[in-house]
Structure 1
Amino acid sequence: MAGIGNGITSLHAQLSSQFKVPHKFALCLPSTSENAPGHMFVGGGPYYFSPYGKDIAKQLITTPLVENPLKIRGVTQSGEDAEYDFYVNVTSISVDHKLVSFNASLLSIEKDGFGGTSFSTTSAYTILTSSIYESLVSAFVKAAAFRKMIRVASVAPFGACFDSKSIARSQTGPVVPYIDIGLAGNTHWRFYGANSMVAVNNDVLCLAFVDAPFVRSSIHIGSHQMENYLIEFDLVSKKLGISTSLSFRNTTCSQSRGI
């Protein structure tokens, strides 16, 4: 294991200091179905993934990284590491272009460090506070019915599951309603079926988001949603950069040619 949080002892911070390169790093997590290694880059691009011949670094959408107030104030609480997470400002969630309705105040980080949107490579799936989760599931189920996806009994810990035979497939995975995460800077991060769904067996696909009655971040983006996106954490410019799904380029995170 290697610590990659927002702290001075993290692997990327130490490597950036040791080798005198810009303090930025990028992750590209492979799909668990690939059974192949992903990649971590330290110091910035270019980023190339065979057979796609262009530099992914030049194609990233960007949004500001924001600080948790606990870190700004130098507060440390026993057993809590939220102040060392990476946060961004999410402005909305939509399903098939329709906004999901929930209490927008949950998207802001409060002075006690709760709320907002953070990242976690140790969480398998994105964790949502209950009210956001329930609204997302409701919106997704309605959009799925419009697409004639057949709902089946839920499989814990997932709240919405479907008959896989009622879902077509494409280069971006199961053809299901798009989930768009609106980001500060008037941009969005789109999740296609490969990142929004998980196969629990050969017959059932479930919405790959998890409910948490108590969670420090209102939205805690997990590794499944990050798979096969190049995600750059630029600690110099305080920006997060996200590629579109590498599936659109007929490549994956396991195909890097290095820099």
Structure 2
Amino acid sequence: MQSPMSSPSPIFHFLLFFFFFLSPSFAAFLAPITKDPTTSQYILSIYLKTPLQPTKLVLDLGASFAWVDCTRRYKSSSYHHIPCSDPLCSAIVSLACSNCFRRPAPGCANDSCALFPENSVTRQTIIAEALVDSLALPSTDGRNPARFARVPEFVFSCAKTSLLKGIAKGVTGFAGLGRSNFSLPAQVSTAFSSPFLFALCLSSSPSAPGVAFFNSGGPYYFLPEIDLSKSLIYTPLILNPVGSTIITYYLHPSDEYFIGVSAIKVNGKDLQFNKTILTIDENGFGGTKISTTTPYAVLETSIYNAFKEAFVSESAALNLTVTTPVKPFGVCYSADDVLSTRLGPAVPTVDLVMKNDDAFWRIFGANSMVRIGSKDEDLWCLGFLDGGAHPRASIVIGGLQMEDNLLQFDLEKKRFGFTSSVLSHGTMCGNFNFTINGNLKQN
């Protein structure tokens, strides 16, 4: 922990001058989310350390805790290690590995508590120290950002620079938003005695950021003054009894988010496949997972084959003819043949039907198709990929399917809220007003 990071921008100094810190009585917070165009990773911007430093982390919806590269350019007057004798260390180790007799356990080195941070993009993991430092987020009334509030005892892992392989430029780690008690939203919730509840709205715009709301069930206002919390449809969150992370979740309930999809429809027509694989079995296989580190939806092979056949058939009725696909995609069309609508390219709709048939997540062209352009060709390709015959999850809902959809994760009520495309409501996730509001009323 040698040299400090590069100096913060003048805008950052202005924000600190403008804001004053909240008392812990206020509970709703936010953070902007941008998409890196090179890696398609979603980047959450928070503030760490003393004095506060803007910090960019890959948003990992299913990870148990945050980790930051602190082997270089990390300087803070408020960080400290966690001694092995500290009850907090026992809680961390217990959380991370409930069956450590079967695998290596997080432990202690030089009387400092340790964890296994993981890069979920490259599937690389290492053993690293656990740290405590100060986290800060802007508060919000659902319309604007306002005064900062601190979480002075924020627990995360101190990883090595080598773990950043494959990560977007300027990013220094991962922000875990999983079901764990040490995930970022869980710690914010605990610090302010608020429900474990957060919402994401990933932007499809390359220039306008999306937003994460913490400790807030709404309102969520987007220009022009549209409260998207009123459009949420709810379905239960499903607990996978066995996690899939390389080490820390071996024979441990998963901190990833699963929902109960019972059927898939293309243009209203039910796909025919073995639907038993949509249920999670006793070994943790099957079910439907939501992942921010997976760029596109991934389907088990039998589901994918039925889906691909139905989509191509329904597209033919729209006078769309498949052309030679571009890897990794299996279905592509000439962009010249595809009409544009306010909900994206005019292609068949896809419905993910929940166990209660009245609830379904409708996917329009903006969330099912990927534009592939070059000097030689211009294509729209289907953003659903073949995940093989025996994947861990039968369906993975990826980043493309989440963009411009408001998604709420309510761990208190064990439910998942979704809106389908907010484009149909006359707004988009890039329409949150990040203009500073200095007169935020406290509830």
Which TM-score tier does this pair reach, normalised by the shorter chain?
over 0.9
Shift of 1:78: 2.3
Q: Report SS of the residue matched to 1:157.
A: coil
CA distance in 1, matches of 2:433, 2:236: 28
Q: Alignment partner for residue 223 of structure 1, among 396, 399, 416?
A: 399
Q: Normalized against structure 1, the TM-score is what?
A: 0.93
What is the correspondence of 1:46-85 to structure 2 with a 5 Å cutoff?
Answer: 46-51=219-224, 53-70=225-242, 78=247, 83-85=254-256
CA distance in 2, matches of 1:101, 1:35: 40
Q: Is the 8 A contact 1:70 1:76 kept in 2?
A: no
Shift of 1:20: 1.8
Structure 1 or 2: more strand by fraction = 2
Q: Report SS of the residue matched to 2:235.
A: strand
Shift of 1:160: 0.6
CA distance 1:76–1:97, shift in 2 (3 Å): closer
Q: Is the 8 A contact 2:208 2:431 kept in 1?
A: no
Paired residues, number:
254
Q: Which runs of 5+ in 1 are unaligned?
A: none
Aligned to 2:362: 190
Aligned to 2:179: 6
CA distance 1:79–1:130, shift in 2 (3 Å): farther
Shift of 1:257: 3.5
CA distance 1:54–1:36, shift in 2 (3 Å): closer
Aligned to 1:16: 189
Q: Percent identity?
A: 40
What is the correspondence of 1:1-259 to structure 2 with a 5 Å cutoff?
Answer: 1=57, 2-31=175-204, 33-44=205-216, 45-51=218-224, 53-70=225-242, 78=247, 83-186=254-357, 187-201=359-373, 203-213=378-388, 214-257=390-433
Higher mean C-alpha displacement, 201-210 vs 220-229 = 201-210
CA distance in 2, matches of 1:35, 1:180: 29
Amino acid at match of 1:124: P
Q: Report SS of the residue matched to 1:83.
A: coil
- Deviation string 1:14-71 (CA, Å, 9 cap, x unpaired) is 111112221100000001x4332110001121111001x3421122111000111226
Higher mean C-alpha displacement, 4-13 vs 224-233 = 4-13
CA distance 1:76–1:37, shift in 2 (3 Å): closer
Amino acid at match of 1:242: F
Q: Report SS of the residue matched to 1:205.
A: strand
Shift of 1:243: 1.0
Q: Is the 8 A contact 1:26 1:230 kept in 2?
A: yes
Amino acid at match of 1:29: L
CA distance 1:79–1:237, shift in 2 (3 Å): closer
Amino acid at match of 2:400: H
Q: Report SS of the residue matched to 2:209.
A: coil
Runs (4+) off by over 3 Å: 79-82
CA distance in 1, matches of 2:248, 2:265: 34
Q: Report SS of the residue matched to 1:35.
A: coil
Q: Report SS of the residue matched to 2:305.
A: helix
CA distance 1:79–1:131, shift in 2 (3 Å): farther
CA distance in 2, matches of 1:176, 1:76: 36
Q: Normalized against structure 2, the TM-score is what?
A: 0.55
CA distance in 2, matches of 1:184, 1:10: 28
Structure 1 or 2: more helix by fraction = 1
Q: Is the 8 A contact 1:128 1:219 kept in 2?
A: yes
Higher-Rg structure is: 2
Shift of 1:134: 1.1
Shift of 1:231: 0.2
CA distance in 2, matches of 1:70, 1:152: 41
CA distance 1:76–1:132, shift in 2 (3 Å): closer
Q: Report SS of the residue matched to 1:70.
A: coil
Shift of 1:185: 2.4
Q: Report SS of the residue matched to 1:177.
A: coil
- Deviation string 1:105-144 (CA, Å, 9 cap, x unpaired) is 1100000000000111000001111111111111100001
Q: Which runs of 5+ in 2 are unaligned?
A: 1-56, 58-174, 435-439
Shift of 1:76: 8.1
Higher RCO structure (Cα 8 Å, ≥6 apart): 1
